[in-house]
Chains A and B, each alone.
Chain A
Amino acid sequence: MKSDILKIANKKFKSRLIVGTGKYKSMKECANAIKISGAEIVTVAVRRVNILDRSKPLLMDYIDPKKIMYLPNTAGCFTSKDALRTLRLAREIGGWKIVKLEVLGDKKNLFPDMIETLKSTEILTREGFKVMVYCNDDPLMCKRLENSGASAIMPLAAPIGSGLGIQNKTNIKILRYQTKVPLIIDAGIGQASDAVEAMEMGCDAVLINTAIAKAKKPFQMAEAMKYAVISGRKSFLSGRIIPNFQGSPSTTKKGLI
Chain B
Amino acid sequence: MNKKNKIKIVVNGKLLTVNIKYSLKNLIEKLKTPINKVAIELNEEIVDKKKLNKIFLKNKDKIEIVHFIGGG
Which residues of A are at the interface with B, using a C-beta cutoff of 8 A?
A: 20-24, 27, 30, 43-52, 54, 58-60, 70, 72-73, 75, 85, 88-90, 92-94, 160-161, 187, 209-210
Q: Chain B 22-40 against A: per-residue CB contact (8 Å), 1 yes, 0 no?
A: 0000000001111011111
Closest Cβ of chain B to A97, distance in Å, is 14
Chain B interfacial residues counted at CB < 8 A: 26
Out of B33, B36, B72, name the residue touching A49 (CB < 8 Å).
Answer: B33
With A21-B70, A45-B69, A92-B39 already in contact, 4 other A-B pairs whose C-beta atoms are closer than 8 Å: A21-B72, A47-B66, A60-B37, A70-B68
Q: Are A60 and B65 in contact (CB under 8 A)?
A: no
B11 interface residue per 8 A CB criterion: yes
Q: Decide yes or no: A73 and B41 within 8 Å by CB, A49-B65, A51-B31, A93-B66 being known contacts.
A: no
Closest Cβ of chain B to A72, distance in Å, is 7
Q: Decide yes or no: A43 and B71 within 8 Å by CB, A52-B14, A93-B38 being known contacts.
A: yes
Q: Are B67 and A58 in contact (CB under 8 A)?
A: yes
- Offer 9 A-B interface pairs, CB within 8 angstroms, sorted by A: A22-B70, A23-B72, A46-B68, A47-B67, A47-B69, A51-B14, A51-B65, A70-B68, A93-B66
Q: Are A45 and B65 in contact (CB under 8 A)?
A: no
Q: Are B36 and A94 in contact (CB under 8 A)?
A: yes
